[in-house]
Chain A
Amino acid sequence: MTLRPSPLADTAPPHIRIDRLTFDYGGARPAVDALSFDIAKGEFIGLLGPSGCGKSTTLRMFAGLLAPTSGQIMIGGQDIVSRPPWERNLGLVFQSYALFPHMTVEQNVAFGLRLRKVSKEDQRARVAEALRAVRLESYGSRWPSELSGGQQQRVAIARAIVIEPEILLLDEPLSNLDARLRDEMRFEIRDIQTRTGITTLFVTHDQQEALTMCDRIAVMNAGRLEQIGTPTDVYDRAATPFVANFIGRANNLASRLSLVDGQPVLTCDGQTLPQPLPADVPENSATGNSVAAMVRPHAIRLRPPAPDQISGTVIRRVFVGSMIEIEIRLDGGQTLIAELRPNSPDAALAHLDARVTVDWLPSDMRLFAS
């Protein structure tokens, strides 16, 4: 295996740095493939990607439950890869919560403190504080089996944060909860994290969860990092077609790049896309190359039909409460989904079988070489 150069900046070491982290179960390709990114102290990072993209594998390497095939995990400038799990001081919250069923809530939370030989008095105080942080102060003497799913999960979080871990690792902690509890817990987890200031790595395959909770999101696909950035970054400035389509809904138009009077112009099946093009036309897309143009459904505006501009026919119109969703078949045959506000002028144009021209702001379009 050739060692790729590290894509990370060579400045002062950040709080946590993972550098070309790789894990190979022996399948067709590594489950985690040269993953690199930095995490600042106190940051809440989301690890987002479809099922099987290597999120849990990454988390297990952090926790020391899997030894990386290659690569480093640096905390405070020190590589922790060779340390066994019990010497890492990391808090891991499993999807299954993994509470010890033969211990009360209090004993569960005190487990890590007891192993650290914290005095009985301090144990009591810190357990009480952790239970207060997750709003379960009066549940200390219950057994895990006497708690609801959401409460069990909060105990698992209390047990992980009470040891004041270097980093809190959460593996899809909300996926076993019903929709309402999930919304509440999103809030609570983020709130607990803000109050304690513990650096957190939050694994999820739910883009909504990642967008609403995280300081930054690392989007993974097939073991590789596609993009890491703030929720706005990954949503509005997707770095790859995968990110654009995984996060939020997206229309992808197969288009062709050409030069008209020295200016780059995009056409889709002979019709011109809204001008001017965004500044970051893919570098390698020479004239005549095909380009994928990505536009979010909510960014699309409708105009009365205009010649040469990209136009089509409304073939479906569905009222979904807060908006009207329409599907447009472009004259070239490709289709577009648009979300319009009810009672807007755009919505008035969009009756079934109407001919319309579509438009959007240049800043709402992302171009990818294809």
Chain B
Amino acid sequence: MTRLLSILGRAYVIAIFGFIFLPMLIILVISFSADSYLSFPPSGWSLKWYSTVLGNATFMAGLKNSAIIALIVAVLSLLLGLPAAYALVRMEFPGRTLIRNLILAPLVLPAMMLGLGLLMVFTPAGLVATYPGLVLAHLVMTLPFSVRILQTTLSNLGTDLEEAAMTLGARPLQTFMQITLPRLMPGVIASSSIAAILSFDEIVLSLFIVGPRLQTLPVAIYRYVDERTDPMVAVLAVLLIAISLAIVLVVERSVGFAKAFGR
């Protein structure tokens, strides 16, 4: 009986994983196709679609834009999120608990609504289809995550080390730089990486803010898929997955996801 259950359990887990990873596997296979249309299994093999993508100016411009924006968003998310997390964990002020509990609330709003709101504010401000505009829009998505992750790291850290440093003669800034910050590194890496991934993959908000002069890779892919489907789409998907996966591995290696998010 237990044996049967354990076999069933294992089969179930495999089924779930298959459900999640089979589409990715199929995409990976198709990306090496020699056909000029989407078909599975492909009738021949080649790397031609990879070279087509690398030679496509729209996609390469999108990749460059997305990378630059992701980098800036990652840095700003950290620089803005760290003081906020510090205040939420270490300082007493009215409304602290409320803000702590609501910090992830912006993510509950439909992205469509956020995008529309941002567009209405950004148009008069001249921020549409600009780097600052896209960065700001992405920060709306990434900041709650960054603050939450840094908050968890900070409260796990406790105050003993900082207090010990201060009694040994360290001023507050020295304490922060020499004790708090080095101990926060796992959270810093995790929050920046997740901000980078979220920004790099973001599409709904970006769709509202991009313009002909400036578009991100996910938006370029979306527009392309809208018109045509060929194995180039599969190549693009593989590239997106590979980049995100690389960042995830960095986080997993340095801290572990569960630890970074807490609870």
State in angstroms the CA–CA spacing of A85 and B164 once bound together: 10
Whether A63 sits at the interface, judged by CB under 8 Å, is yes
Given contacts A100-B161, A100-B179, contact A116 B169 (CB under 8 A): yes
Q: Are A94 and B169 in contact (CB under 8 A)?
A: no
Given contacts A86-B170, A101-B183, contact A92 B163 (CB under 8 A): yes
CB contact list, A163-181 vs B, under 8 A: 163
Checking B161, B169, B170 against A98 with a beta-carbon cut-off of 8 angstroms, the contacting residue is: B161
Nearest-neighbor residue (CB-CB) of B179 within chain A: A100
- Nearest Cβ in chain A — how far from B74, in angstroms? 23
CB contact list, A146-170 vs B, under 8 A: 159-160, 163
Whether A111 sits at the interface, judged by CB under 8 Å, is yes
- Nearest Cβ in chain B — how far from A41, in angstroms? 20
Nearest-neighbor residue (CB-CB) of A102 within chain B: B182
Q: Are B168 and A115 in contact (CB under 8 A)?
A: yes
CB contact list, B161-181 vs A, under 8 A: 161, 163-171, 174, 179
Given contacts A102-B183, A115-B174, contact A94 B168 (CB under 8 A): no
Count of residues in B whose CB is under 8 Å from the partner chain = 15
Checking A85, A90, A98 against B160 with a beta-carbon cut-off of 8 angstroms, the contacting residue is: A98
Residues of B within 8 A of A116 (CB): 169
- Nearest Cβ in chain A — how far from B65, in angstroms? 37
Whether A112 sits at the interface, judged by CB under 8 Å, is yes
Q: Mark A41-76, 1 if CB is under 8 A from B, else 0.
A: 000000000000000000000011100000000000
Residues of B within 8 A of A91 (CB): 167-168
Residues of B within 8 A of A126 (CB): none
Given contacts A115-B168, A115-B170, A115-B174, contact A85 B163 (CB under 8 A): yes
Checking A64, A96, A100, A101 against B167 with a beta-carbon cut-off of 8 angstroms, the contacting residue is: A64
Residues of A within 8 A of B161 (CB): 98, 100
A residues within 8 Å of B by Cβ? 63-65, 84-92, 94, 96, 98, 100-102, 111-112, 115-116, 159-160, 163
30 CB contacts below 8 A, A to B, read A64-B166, A64-B167, A65-B166, A84-B166, A85-B163, A85-B167, A86-B166, A86-B168, A86-B169, A86-B170, A86-B171, A87-B169, A90-B167, A91-B167, A91-B168, A92-B164, A92-B167, A94-B160, A94-B163, A98-B160, A98-B161, A100-B164, A100-B165, A111-B170, A112-B168, A115-B170, A115-B174, A159-B164, A159-B168, A160-B168
